[in-house]
Chain A
Amino acid sequence: MAKKIKIIVAKPGLDGHDRGAKLLARIFAEEGMEVVYTGLRQTPEMIVAAAEQEDADVVGLSSLSGVHNYFFPRVVELLKDKGLNDVLVVGGGIIPVEDYDFLQKSGVKAIFGPGTPTMEIVNFIKSNARAR
């Protein structure tokens, strides 16, 4: 049985705009990944608990409402606290380009803004997800 990439797709915070997250969840599944969609209004603790229980290789965070500078680094931090250092964290949504540097320095490996070709995201995940 071939190993499959397992990815959590989550919307942290109170932001209710999940169209992008749902679309990407479908695209990841169509690319052969096993996608756990956690739904809306997730705290970083909930996302990290899901990643731990599901043995996720990747956590994909989506944000529209401007809370990324708090939530994304917090997820990375909680993963590290649990020793889950090899989980790839990526983010996307409406995120000002000025914030990319800060987010990447805090451990979010890539940020995908509006208009990113979906295959670019898929390929990044496929080539950067851990082996287990």
Chain B
Amino acid sequence: MKRDYAKEILAGSPQAVARLISWLEDEDERAYSIMEELYPHTGRAYVIGITGSPGAGKSTLTDKLIRIMRKGGLTVGVVAVDPSSPFTGGALLGDRIRMSDHSTDPEVYIRSMATRGFLGGMAKATCDVVKVLDAFGKDIIIIETVGVGQDEVDIVGLADTTCVVLVPGLGDVIQSMKAGVMEIADVYVVNKADRDGADQLNMEVNARIEQDIHIKMSGWVPPVNKTIAVDNVGMQDLWESILKHRAFLEESGRLVEKRRKQTYQETLRMIHNELFRLIRDQLSEDGRLDRLVEEILERKRDPYSTMREILSEWLDSTPKYKEAL
């Protein structure tokens, strides 16, 4: 008998969740009909993003946040992303190490994901995995991004509250003035606050916030929380900052607005991905793509007119692809 994964997930089966997530990562066709069934059951969970440079303490912070949430009776899903090797495609996923305390708690579901070449700080399927954990009934979903540099900011398109984790000693004041990751925080965390330079960093971040015109207009001033996650210091205050931001989003109507924007982006992205996949698969099937590449390399043709040619062909033959959907 065919297994009804959607039903199993809604009934609370971690194994059905685990398998569906693998299929989503593999872009396995079996995943999509299940996702269609789960979608009406999503939208309940609150999504928290934790981002910051490698070694900033994201996993440890996540571990300590889970502890507070569980004490408050909340159930938690965690998506922890680590990078895939650009050379071998393999990955070493080490985020669970810090979260060992929760590994046998049935109300905490932790899933490691490799980026598989996807940029922006997350894996391609991360947004789908969040929906699965949402439908699975988790109250809070934490997304821990890969260790990011300056420009991996996709997390804002997925999290309701984004926490940017900073640590002392990574650069001068100019670093904190730059665009990118430094701009996306709803809540700042200065972790490892017992280290030299923590007060300086704290001051710089506060100065940035004061000078930021965009923040002034938004109605929300991101709090800066000092923590020493490994010793469980400052964690309760951090959690309260997150709750305050949530209350702000809900009371001001921004949450609805934020999710409208996310859904807009996501719908476009899904159409884009699927169109791309269809055309890529068709072009690769009979080696035509390789031949085109050779011709382009030899300057017998150019990529611009090739793109137009392929699109126009594809548009002419679309009824053929309708069946594949």
Binding site for B on A (CB under 8 A): 1-4, 6, 25-26, 28-39, 41-43, 45-46, 49-50, 52-55, 82-84, 132
Contact = CB atoms under 8 A, between A and B. Distances in A.
B111 A42 contact: no
Contacts of B21: 55
Nearest to B80: A36
Interface string B9-47: 000001101110110011110000000000000000000
25 contacts: A3-B26, A3-B28, A28-B90, A29-B92, A30-B88, A32-B88, A34-B90, A34-B112, A35-B92, A36-B93, A38-B97, A38-B100, A43-B104, A45-B104, A46-B100, A46-B104, A49-B104, A50-B103, A50-B110, A52-B15, A54-B18, A55-B21, A82-B15, A83-B15, A84-B15
A85 to B, nearest CB: 12
Contacts of B259: none
A4 to B, nearest CB: 7
Contacts of B15: 52, 55, 82-84
Contacts of A30: 85, 88, 90
A44 B133 CA distance: 25
Given A29-B91, A132-B19, A1 B104 contact: no
Label chain B's interface by main secondary structure: mixed
A132 B16 CA distance: 12
B192 interface: no
Contacts of B84: 34
Listed from nearest, the 3 A-B pairs whose CB atoms lie closest are A39-B97, A29-B90, A55-B18
A6 B90 contact: no
B57 to A, nearest CB: 16
Contacts of A52: 14-15, 18
A53 B110 contact: yes
A29 B94 CA distance: 12
Given A34-B114, A84-B15, A50 B88 contact: no
A53 B21 CA distance: 10
B136 to A, nearest CB: 11
Given A29-B90, A37-B94, 19 more contacts: A1-B116, A4-B26, A4-B90, A6-B22, A26-B92, A29-B91, A29-B92, A30-B85, A34-B90, A38-B97, A39-B94, A39-B97, A39-B100, A50-B96, A50-B110, A53-B18, A55-B18, A55-B22, A84-B15
Nearest to A33: B90
Contacts of A49: 103-104
Interface string B84-128: 110011111110110010011000011110101000000000000
Interface centre among B17, B92, B100 (most CB of A within 10 A): B92
A50 B177 CA distance: 40
A42 B100 contact: yes
Given A3-B26, A29-B85, A53-B111, A34 B93 contact: yes
Contacts of A29: 85, 88, 90-92
B91 A34 contact: yes
Interface in B265-284: none
A42 B19 CA distance: 23
Contacts of B26: 1-4
Contact of B89 (A4, A35, A45, A46): A4
A33 B103 CA distance: 22
A95 B137 CA distance: 43
Contacts of B88: 29-32
A50 B85 CA distance: 22
